[in-house]
Structure 1
């Protein structure tokens, strides 16, 4: 069959990728290096803007403990195929080929020794190796599909290709230019969208928890629980509520109306308060808590527990109840800090309409969706970048 004749002013590519973030850059570079003619478009003035601010400017670019069970999705097995075919070790090998020094922090998190700009420069260099046509500061007009070709309108003209990749992310961190454009585009082509919500985000507490607002700035190791999420990391009290790694992690599992449970004494053995009663019968609860917690937090918790007098004057039952509450202190957030403070977006393009092997839409041949745009959300600590690399790789192999 003869190829359709381009209309006046149209430029042909093999693939058009919308979004020059982590997933889009990866997909474009790999597809270009496979010999595909690729147009990569972004509305931002430079590529990889969210990469640049990640990890405190050092980019937590992957996690060596990446596994499918560390991702949330309404289609929980979707990420398995892509993650198995492009691993953390694969991306690390790319980083090392570019001579980028790195180090491992806690819990398998890998960071650049230098700057996140090294990761962006690496990806842009890989795109250049694949002769990718990268256009930033581009205002995307109409996107259409007819005769097996996708067309996009930019200021400088119209472009068309048999493949279109949605890699524009989600609405988290709107000050970086993030929008829900990916969802609008998906719906335009008949794809469903799982309700987007902020993830890896601080949680707000209602006025009834005002006592804890006086603890702004206090941080302590905890175990935080919500739904199927259970994380042993630090929690931080803020003037609005709760933050810190443990809270950011469980926020991805939290839905409005649900409780978050906090174990304030994760390193204490069961029955430790009764043991303290026998060892220090004249000590007040606050003094015993100060051995396990920051002073201001110990004072606030002891006030809430309302254990009056020294430990020796308390019944074993009362102390057991106090310990149980310390191990499962319940907070009911009245919201989160929203997309403005969310590191990523949960929800997104419904993966049940996509191929887990190629990221292609089942009912729209040639249409792909990758990265944060889809309903796959990783834990804190490099997991979302690894999903960007893996999903970008999967689509690139199919283009």
Structure 2
């Protein structure tokens, strides 16, 4: 009799799960749950059920059906702990590596949100002291970080808030939070791990406002440098902005010791990859960057007239962000002198009108910075003001004349 019930419940289950009507789904899942205590259910059957559950991620869009799936995940973990944890983690890995990459960000984010909920069920239901959970948990953290990255890339505020709420609610259990943080901080630096650590930091800040970085600030900086700044692929802006919790509290010494050398090296190695990262980093810092105006400025000025359109635009924005963080007039003067040197052809004549206009645009921005910081140049040498005004006016007149065909 037990074999008959088992056979009946599992017969053609993969097709039935996807083809039955919404009204029939409760009976189907009830039948599957009822045979989980059957002595004939072995590891292979558990593996098959886990795979079937994975297929519902993209088909079950209504809340009642998703609840049926979540309840079945709980049941199968409780009754077949080791096999369920191991095989369900494999299902989530397959979803991330094969399925989510085929969707546009918005759709991928919706499915990632559901999958994050599944990982949360595993963590809350499983025995966290069991050998199989300990072995699989480090993978779960990887999966959660990748799923969180997917929802961030959607830029859908509602989905992002829902995903973060799942994590924050789970981390209210201090044991789970500590396990997650210690596991993530111990991993090899990568972009997804870095932004996941930033989310953990934000949670820590929400419950402990005084010292939310604790003893891990140095390690977080190291992760940020290796996972973000030295990343060999161009990262989405959203992922870099996610590192705001760390960037906004960096001190001058911390920037000098770890961030500056990495930024300088990365922008020399591949400016087309690193300039945008540098722009956002400079924007989020709350320190004086005057002493770095020369080293950063030389590289950025050169890229204002490079062949890559995107790099030229990003260099322009980065120079603006750099100037906002310079508090000494000498640093801004250096950048202006660099622009005028290029316009005057000291390192070769720049003849392309767009390149020259880029340079003029930056110089005009710097004049606004000077005027805002040093009202009417009252702290600056009077003899240099005409020099700064004369050159851009002359160049601008030249460009206008050229455009008009004179």
The TM-score bracket by the shorter chain reads under 0.3
More helix by share: 2
Normalization by structure 1: what TM-score?
Answer: 0.28
Which of structures 1 and 2 has the bigger CA Rg? 2
Normalization by structure 2: what TM-score?
Answer: 0.27
Structure scoring higher RCO (CA < 8 A, sep ≥ 6) equals: 1
More strand by share: 1
